[in-house]
């Protein structure tokens, strides 16, 4: 399976994993290791920046991972920029996930502020991954603003519904000029595999793993699903047909008289 390139970052795993929500630090460590991820994501506003490595990532060897803080909690582009700069000053990143929520009920992003934040963060030297809805035009606009990856939601954050609008997601993937990381709404390994089979470059998960009865097993299942889905996409699967098509040869076969 090919590696994932985001800006100047080369990632060996196409599964990005969130931190937080785990019941114990031990469960988090077990799930992270089982997932095989190379990227850990977290909300900057929810961690103590002066002691993040000891408190938030207890038991994890952070030298093994790329850190992907996000700007969750930001209502404006300026707040997102300030949050990202705090994470960078704390030595946690030069890569950032832009998240500017515009609706507290649906947790959908504010399109105007998201585009603005993307542009500002790119100009400030960050490797920028931008969270969007499954809006095809918004995905295009954040790419025009310079993002290094676009992260459309499969479904509302934390819902576990899977891909609710496959048509839009297919269009985002088909038109993308940067990697597409499906973010939010994935609930099961089959959802993750579906996204990868459609041509997504990666999947970001948190709730589906952290909230599972056995996070370690779910993380391992998600790892297998992402790998299987990507290999299926790269292999060039056969096109679907509306009618049967025999797998045995139809010529040169003896027929009963």
Task: Write the pLDDT tens digit of every residue in 5-48.
Answer: 998 888 889 999 988 788 898 998 999 999 999 999 888 877 66
Pairing of strands 4-6, 9-11: antiparallel
Full pLDDT tens readout for the chain, 257 residues = 678 899 888 888 999 998 878 889 899 899 999 999 999 988 887 766 565 555 567 778 888 888 898 888 889 999 999 999 988 887 777 899 999 998 888 888 999 999 999 999 999 999 999 999 999 999 999 999 999 999 999 988 888 889 999 999 999 999 999 999 999 899 999 999 999 999 999 999 999 999 999 999 999 999 999 999 999 999 998 888 888 877 766 666 666 66
State how many domains the chain has: 1
pLDDT at 197: 96
In a domain, 33, yes or no: yes
Catalytic residue among 97, 116, 140, 223: 97
Annotated binding site for 1-deoxy-D-xylulose 5-phosphate: 158, 184-185, 206-207
Instruction: Please give the pLDDT value at position 156.
Output: 87
Instruction: Give a yes or no: residue 214 inside a domain.
Output: yes
Q: What are phi and psi of 5, to 5 degrees?
A: -105, 120
Q: Has residue 167 been placed in a domain?
A: yes
Binding residues: 158, 184-185, 206-207
The alpha-carbon radius of gyration of the chain (Å, integer) is: 20
Residue found under tokens 């996930």: 97
Q: Examine residue 241 and state whether it is found in any structural domain, yes or no.
A: no
Residue 71: inside a domain: yes
| CATH number of domain containing 194 | 3.20.20.70
Identify the pLDDT of residue 1: 64
Give the torsion through C-alpha atoms of 167, 153, 135, 88, to 10 deg. Answer: -140
The number of C-alpha atoms within 13 Å of 8 and in the hemisphere containing its C-beta is 5
Instruction: Report yes or no on 244 lying in a domain.
Output: no
97 is catalytic: yes
Q: Which domain holds residue 119?
A: 4-234
Enter the DSSP assignment of 237.
P
Give the CA distances from residue 159 to residues 16, 23, 57, 165, 207, in Å, rounded to whole numbers and listed in that order.
Answer: 18, 19, 25, 14, 9
């Amino acid at each position: 399976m090919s590696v994932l390139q985001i800006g100047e970052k080369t990632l060996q795993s196409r599964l990005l994993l969130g931190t937080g929500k785990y019941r114990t630090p031990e469960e988090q460590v077990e799930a992270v290791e089982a997932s095989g991820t190379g990227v850990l994501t977290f909300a900057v506003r929810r961690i103590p920046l002066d002691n993040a490595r000891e408190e938030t990532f207890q038991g994890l060897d952070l030298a093994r991972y790329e850190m992907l803080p996000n700007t969750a909690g930001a209502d404006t582009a300026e707040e997102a920029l300030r949050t990202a700069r705090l994470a960078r000053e704390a030595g946690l990143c030069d890569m950032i996930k832009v998240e500017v929520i515009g609706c507290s009920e649906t947790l959908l992003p504010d399109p105007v502020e998201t585009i603005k934040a993307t542009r500002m963060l790119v100009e400030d030297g960050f490797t920028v991954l931008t969270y969007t809805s499954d809006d095809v035009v918004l995905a295009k606009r954040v790419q025009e603003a310079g993002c290094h990856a676009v992260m459309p939601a499969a479904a509302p954050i934390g819902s576990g519904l899977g891909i609710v609008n496959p048509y839009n997601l297919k269009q985002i993937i088909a038109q993308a000029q940067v990697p597409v990381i499906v973010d939010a709404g994935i609930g099961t390994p089959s959802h993750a595999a579906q996204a990868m089979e459609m041509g997504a470059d990666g999947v970001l998960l948190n709730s589906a793993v952290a909230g599972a009865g056995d996070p370690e097993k779910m993380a391992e299942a998600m790892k297998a699903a992402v790998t299987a889905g990507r290999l299926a996409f790269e292999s060039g699967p056969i096109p679907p047909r509306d009618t049967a098509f025999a797998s045995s040869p139809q010529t040169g076969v003896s027929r009963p008289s």
